[in-house]
Chains A and B, each alone.
Chain A
Amino acid sequence: MKTILKFAFILFLVNLVAASILAATYNITKSKIEEQVRLAQEQALKQVMPEEIADRLESVEKDGVVQYWKAFKGNSSQPNGYIFIAKKYGYSSVIETMVGMKKDGTFTGLRVISQNETPGLGVKIAEPSFTKQFINRNVSELELSKNNIHAVTGATISSRAFLDSIKSSSIEMLKNKDE
């Protein structure tokens, strides 16, 4: 009985010290991590919407969560384009993409913000060589084919999921933009 109490006390001490160190580290890094997340988002927003098309963003929120962004040019009160996040399960992970689109449905930029596809194959959907194919194309003409969007070799499932997610989210976005 006495040894059990002794062991329990030692384990308690070890855990107490570990927990306090972790709490301190968490507090030190917390604001920095939040800032990094914010910076990454700002950078992505800038990348998918060139300044010539829109230079002012306004987020549309619902229950405190950002649904999409309206992009304005100059002092215009009518949005010139939209930025939204498209999500779909690819081959081995959910692919999340930030999409910039003009109000007529033409894409201005895409950036994959999170994915965990097969290294060397599926991950190539996040590279500019694949995503830049979408720029200046209209949502109505998107399809995987020889003279349209080329799928990544060996990663047809990831490519198709990526295209589908962007297509369906764009159509949804264009339908709901006035609400």
Chain B
Amino acid sequence: MKKLLREFFKGIGSENPIFRLILGLCPALAVSTSVVNGLGMGIAATFVLLGSNIIISLVRKSIPDQIRIPCFIVIIATFVTIVELMMKAYAPELSKSLGIFVPLIVVNCMVLGRAEAFACREGVLASTLDALGMGVGFTLALLLISAIRELLGNGTLLGFLILKSFDPVLYLVLAPGALLVIGLLIGGINFLSSKRRSA
């Protein structure tokens, strides 16, 4: 039981995909311009991760090693297309603002990374918790990055005007701003954890 809980929490903390494993940075950089986009992307990626981890863990014994990558890609792509169609049908605004980055979850290295490093070795329950933990960790990281960028770069949060008498730093909403925010956050987290380790 304790081991299973650890599989869940490692994705949020010690093995956070963005801040620790530095995986899945492409969507994290591209769609973190607003909190709504960040949240939508996080939920979409979590769903794909969950689906692919469960299925891959179920079929892991019947898929020969040599052709596992194409099989994983097909499984992941299936879930991504389901998400894309569902989003178009039930959340058309979100699907419009995320655009190409929803289909691009197929090549998100975090999803294939978990399939390779975890789901093809471990049981269904552990893989499910691993996917949930990674998904939640990814979503929280995206929320943090997008909240900083939206608040300082546009003066809004979730579309509401918060900073009224403040000239927004447009730079943060543009691509270089994403790299800067993620770099500073990773640096800060590394600094804090190294301090804790030496103490």
Question: Which residues of A are in contact with B by a Cβ distance under 8 Å?
Answer: 6-7, 10-11, 14-15, 18, 21-22, 25-26, 29, 32-33, 36-37, 40, 114, 116, 118-121, 154
Contact = CB atoms under 8 A, between A and B. Distances in A.
A176 to B, nearest CB: 30
Contacts of A154: 170
A120 B64 contact: no
Contact of B75 (A18, A37, A121): A18
A149 B33 CA distance: 27
A39 B129 CA distance: 39
B148 to A, nearest CB: 14
B194 interface: no
A119 B33 CA distance: 7
Nearest to B37: A119
A22 B99 CA distance: 20
- Can you list the 6 inter-chain pairs with the closest CB atoms, starting with the nearest? A120-B173, A32-B89, A29-B89, A18-B78, A119-B33, A29-B85
Contact of A22 (B64, B81, B90): B81
Interface in B59-83: 62-64, 66-67, 70-71, 74-75, 77-78, 81-82
Q: Which applies to chain B's interface (DSSP): helix, strand, loop or mixed?
A: helix
A167 B40 CA distance: 36
Contacts of B64: 6-7, 10
B71 A10 contact: yes
B128 interface: no
A29 B86 contact: yes
Contacts of B170: 120-121, 154
B90 A32 contact: yes
Interface of B: 33, 62-64, 66-67, 70-71, 74-75, 77-78, 81-82, 85-86, 88-90, 92, 96, 99, 153-154, 170, 173-174
Given A21-B78, A29-B86, A121-B174, 10 more contacts: A7-B67, A10-B64, A11-B71, A18-B78, A22-B82, A25-B81, A33-B85, A33-B89, A119-B33, A120-B154
Nearest to B178: A119
A14 B62 CA distance: 11
A117 B31 CA distance: 13
A10 B61 CA distance: 12
A118 B75 CA distance: 33
B74 A116 contact: no
A129 B79 CA distance: 39
Given A11-B71, A32-B90, A33-B89, A120 B81 contact: no
Contacts of A6: 64
A147 to B, nearest CB: 24
Contact of A26 (B85, B90, B92, B173): B85
17 contacts: A7-B67, A10-B64, A15-B74, A21-B82, A22-B82, A25-B85, A29-B85, A32-B89, A33-B88, A33-B89, A36-B89, A37-B92, A40-B92, A114-B96, A120-B33, A120-B174, A121-B170
Contacts of A11: 67, 70-71
A14 B90 contact: no
Contacts of B75: 14, 18
Contact of B66 (A7, A29, A118, A119): A7
B92 A14 contact: no
